[in-house]
Structure formats: structure tokens, C-alpha cells
């Protein structure tokens, strides 16, 4: 089968080509799937997309007209896919339901430590041979309280790191994770978590019920000197409200690997173009804010597992099998 893979990063390309070798012919392109790029998929029964692909109803219609019947997304999240339209068009949609939770958890912890210890500012200074310590004072996280919002596989891995650093553990989720409870986590309501935590880390999926989970009221409930980390989905945070709180001088640090309007920006080189997103432009000017471009998952281990699962999804589709990875039609 001929497969077109959209949004393939340079580091990712050899992994994809090697994984599909001898099974299917895969063509990798750097461009991301959008309404404008969808026509290039004409003639490909199967395509593979990245996390920031636009799989709206219009795009799905274009793909279906071009002969595409199966879409294998190389990510866990699927908030970018109009599943109702896909089902109506008879498209098969699969995702990667699991990959290394340590990749994201370790990166989330890295963001927390980087903003707490002012690593970016310190590095910029030493490049200019400025070795002063003014403005670089951080805090021990040992003995302080972490609030983990979402305690699934990634949240559990993050909790284990925080536990290893001697933090008090608070959790919020629709169900308790016994492994986190065994580590000493106490589950509380969201308001208590936000009011008590010195570090808040988000690990829930983006759903209609979690959109702007951290909105204006939630941000105001947090400690003025708290650290906020989001390595899940940008839409969990009301970014304009966050900017408003930062302008008041609140929060010791904010580490964001995701941004709610990242599509069309992240994974692309925009260094020679004016940034039209005023909210993002303002956000990155705050000295206590660190923004990275959705790279938490980007390790050899995690990407290798994502690619392997994508190959399995395509093979299952060809063989007429279904697994937990299939969203439309659903497995079982």
C-alpha cells in the first residue's frame, strides 16, 4: 500500500521509513495537513498525520473525495479530528493510544526546574560572560507541595519524579490511581489543589469538559508564587487570562510546551516572519515564562513507539482488524 505521511520532522523521517520498509511504501512530507495541503493526498488510500494536523470536516471531505479511506494519526490526542464527519464519510481513524509516559513526564519536570532555577536567563547571561547571580534565586522543591491534575500514565510518572524529590503530593482526577495513592498522594478537589500547590502540572486530555480548565478563576485561586506547567494540550489554559495574571506580577514560573493556538506556528520556522498572535508575543516576553514547541514527547523511545503503533494500525486496517487505537469505526 502507498502511504502519505504529513508533518514529518527530519529526526522522525528515518524512523518512519525504516518501520514501514518491506511492508508498505511511504512518502514523507514536511508540510502539515491543512485545507490547502489536503489535495496532495489524492490517490493515497491511507495517510498518516501529526498532532497538529487539521482534520476538520472540510479537510476530511477533501481527503475522502481524493480516495483516502484510512487516517493514522501519530499522536494520542484526537481533539483535532471531527470524528462525526469521519464516521459519516466512512473513513477509518486510528491514533496511538499509548507511548512512553516518561518522555512527557520528564520534560514537564524539566520545565518546572528550568523556570524555578532560572536556567534560561542564566544561560543567556553566561554566553555574554555575565556571571552575576542577581535575579537567579530559586527555591527547593523538596518539602513543598505539588498538585498533579490528571493522574493517568503520564501523571503517575510525573508523580513518581516529584515523590523522589521529596514533595508532598496532591492529585485531582475523575478516578484515583492506586499507584499514586501508594506513593502518598492525597486526592482533593480542584480548588483545594490550586490553593495549596506550589507546583501545578497538567496531565489531562483536551475535551469539551477540560477546555480552559485553568481559566481566570482557577488562576486567581493559585498561590502568587506558584509554578504552573502544561505539557498536555494548550487549550487546557485560558492563555489570555494567564497573560493578565502575569502582568500583575504573579507566579514564580510558567512552563508551557503547548499553546492553544499553536497550529500553524509550532513545528515551523517563523523566525523571519512577523508574529500576528499578540497573545503569544506578549506571553514570551515575561522573564518567568518558558515556552517550548510541543516537544515533550520527542524522544527516540517515544517516537519509536509512536511509529511502531502507527505501522500496526495500518497493518490492522489492511487485515480488517480493530484495536483500542481505532476511533472510527470503534474497536469491537
Q: Which residues are annotated as catalytic?
A: 233, 262, 294
Q: How many CA atoms within 13 Å lie on the side-chain side of 224? A: 4
Query: What gap in Å lies between CA 69 and CA 42, rounded to an integer?
Result: 11
- How many CB atoms lie under 10 A from the CB of residue 244? 14
Query: What gap in Å lies between CA 227 and CA 39, rounded to an integer?
Result: 44
Give pairs for 81-88: CB < 8 Å, separation 24+: 81/55, 81/327, 82/55, 82/56, 82/57, 83/327, 83/328, 85/56, 85/57, 85/60, 85/61, 86/55, 86/60, 86/327, 86/328, 87/328, 87/329
Return the HEC string of 6-67.
CCCCCCCHHHHHHHHCCCCEEEECCCCCCCCCHHHHCCCCEEEECCCCCECHHHHHHHHHCC
Query: What gap in Å lies between CA 137 and CA 123, rounded to an integer?
Result: 14
- Residue 70 is inside which H or E element, if any? strand 70-73
Residue 166 to residues 141, 142, 157, 185, 315, Cα–Cα distance (Å): 8, 5, 15, 12, 45
- How many CB atoms lie under 10 A from the CB of residue 246? 19
Amino acid at each position: 500500500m502507498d502511504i502519505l505521511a504529513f508533518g514529518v520532522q527530519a529526526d522522525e523521517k528515518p524512523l518512519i521509513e525504516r518501520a514501514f520498509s518491506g511492508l508498505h511504501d511511504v512518502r514523507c512530507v514536511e508540510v502539515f495537513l491543512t485545507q490547502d495541503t489536503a489535495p496532495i493526498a489524492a490517490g493515497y488510500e491511507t495517510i498518516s498525520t501529526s498532532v497538529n494536523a487539521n482534520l476538520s470536516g472540510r479537510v476530511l471531505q477533501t481527503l475522502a473525495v481524493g480516495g483516502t479511506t484510512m487516517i493514522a494519526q501519530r499522536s494520542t490526542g484526537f481533539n483535532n479530528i471531527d470524528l462525526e464527519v469521519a464516521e459519516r464519510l466512512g473513513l477509518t481513524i486510528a491514533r496511538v493510544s499509548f507511548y512512553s509516559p516518561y518522555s512527557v513526564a520528564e520534560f514537564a519536570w524539566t520545565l518546572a526546574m528550568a523556570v524555578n532555577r532560572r536556567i534560561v536567563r542564566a544561560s543567556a547571561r553566561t554566553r555574554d560572560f555575565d556571571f552575576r547571580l542577581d535575579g537567579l534565586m530559586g527555591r527547593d522543591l523538596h518539602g513543598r507541595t505539588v498538585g498533579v491534575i490528571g493522574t493517568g500514565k503520564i501523571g503517575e510518572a510525573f508523580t513518581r519524579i516529584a515523590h523522589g524529590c521529596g514533595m508532598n503530593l496532591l492529585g485531582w482526577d475523575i478516578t484515583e490511581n492506586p499507584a499514586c495513592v501508594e506513593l502518598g498522594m492525597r486526592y482533593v478537589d480542584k480548588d483545594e489543589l490550586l490553593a495549596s500547590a506550589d507546583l501545578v502540572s497538567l496531565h489531562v486530555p483536551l475535551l469539551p469538559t477540560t477546555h480552559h480548565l485553568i481559566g481566570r478563576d482557577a488562576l486567581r485561586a493559585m498561590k502568587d508564587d506558584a509554578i504552573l506547567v502544561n505539557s498536555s494540550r494548550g487549550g487546557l489554559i485560558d492563555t489570555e487570562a494567564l497573560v493578565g495574571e502575569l502582568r500583575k506580577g504573579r507566579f514564580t514560573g510558567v512552563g508551557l510546551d503547548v499553546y492553544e493556538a499553536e497550529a500553524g506556528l509550532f513545528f515551523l520556522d517563523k523566525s523571519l516572519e512577523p508574529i500576528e498572535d499578540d497573545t503569544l508575543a506578549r506571553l514570551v516576553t515575561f522573564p518567568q515564562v518558558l515556552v517550548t514547541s510541543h516537544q515533550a514527547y520527542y524522544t527516540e523511545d517515544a517516537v519509536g513507539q509512536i511509529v511502531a503503533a502507527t505501522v500496526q494500525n495500518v497493518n490492522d486496517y489492511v487485515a480488517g482488524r480493530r484495536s483500542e487505537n481505532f476511533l472510527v469505526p470503534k474497536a469491537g
